[in-house]
Structure 1
Amino acid sequence: MAVDRARIERLVRELLEAIGEDPDRPGLTQTPSRMAMLYDELFAGIGEDPGAHLARTISVSRGPAPGTLPSGAVLLRGVRFRSVCEHHLLPFAGVAHLAYLPGEQVVGLGSLVKVVETLAARPQVQERLGEQIADALDAHLDARGVLVVLDASHGCVTMRGGRQPDASTLTVAVRGEFTDPVARTELIALIGAGAPGSHEAGA
């Protein structure tokens, strides 16, 4: 479902008036249209199926490089993302670390990035975002285990309330074999070994 830009423009004008501003003064005349374009970008993932990005897999035994099944997990670190918290419509941004234990099928690494981007491009909370990414990978990949770690800085923490600019939030979602703490210990250690931090990502 497409974002209704014209309606957003009308509502932004009303919001500016509600806070005591003049939407027709210089500096604000283009703000409603800019906000409409911004919201179109920020919420492009609403209604989009993240699993569609995982439809094209590569057979390990029949693919271009047969016999190359990884003996361990595939780990993609430091995928930068940004989203909007559904509580205050303030941004949160950080990095995602994704791992899966492949079976017969593997997937292009860019497809993992697109799953993150799709699910982040909708009003979110970090806890649910991590679970949704894990669900998508678990449901659409031939994976024996899935691990998703998100490390993000939230505008509702850094810009309002306690105003803690250095605070970040870490969440973990696991499926399959990685529900065993021992099985995911090595991955957690690899993620922490020089992985880029969310506090550098900005909000």
Structure 2
Amino acid sequence: MKNNRKKEVISWIRTLLIAGAIVFVCRYFLFTPSTVLGDSMYPTLQNGNMVMVSKISEINRFDKIIFHAPDADEDYVKRVIGLPGDSIEMKNDVLYVNGKAYDEPYLKPNKKTLTGGKLLTDNFTLKELTGESKVPKDSLFVMGDNRQNSRDSRYFGFISKSSVVGKVEFRYFPFNEIGGIE
């Protein structure tokens, strides 16, 4: 009887250690949860949203990422606009990457609130903002979706790829918005 109890306790300890190891590996090497702070990505992501961030996904243009802020002791969530080697220009609320115009459908709700011909995003070229004509190697140019209320690469310049925590893949709170994020 005593021997069976000892085996059961050892079995439970082994199970908990294995589960703990799996959680550790997933949390530190594959995925991590994060909470959105602020309104810079509104309406795509709102203050208090809880998201799952993949640490192993490839980062592409227009992906939403979490990164260590270069100008604060916190993490920011922004959208990748420019990849290494890209030239970027904003003209009359149209984004141009490498001379090609891109539609930004995620900005439509914010553009609808503008009146009197105002622009959501002020005109700029990468050269005017950063002194560089192209995004440097191992760097990214990021902007928030709430362009009039976002501290992003237009203010602090490029971010280092090494500062990226990961790509936002999934929202799990609030419960009525669970799922992938456009």
TM above 0.5: no
Larger Rg: 2
User: TM-score of the superposition, structure 2-length normalised?
Assistant: 0.26
Structure 1 or 2: more helix by fraction: 1
Work out which structure has the larger RCO, using CA pairs closer than 8 Å and 6 or more positions apart in sequence: 2
User: TM-score of the superposition, structure 1-length normalised?
Assistant: 0.24
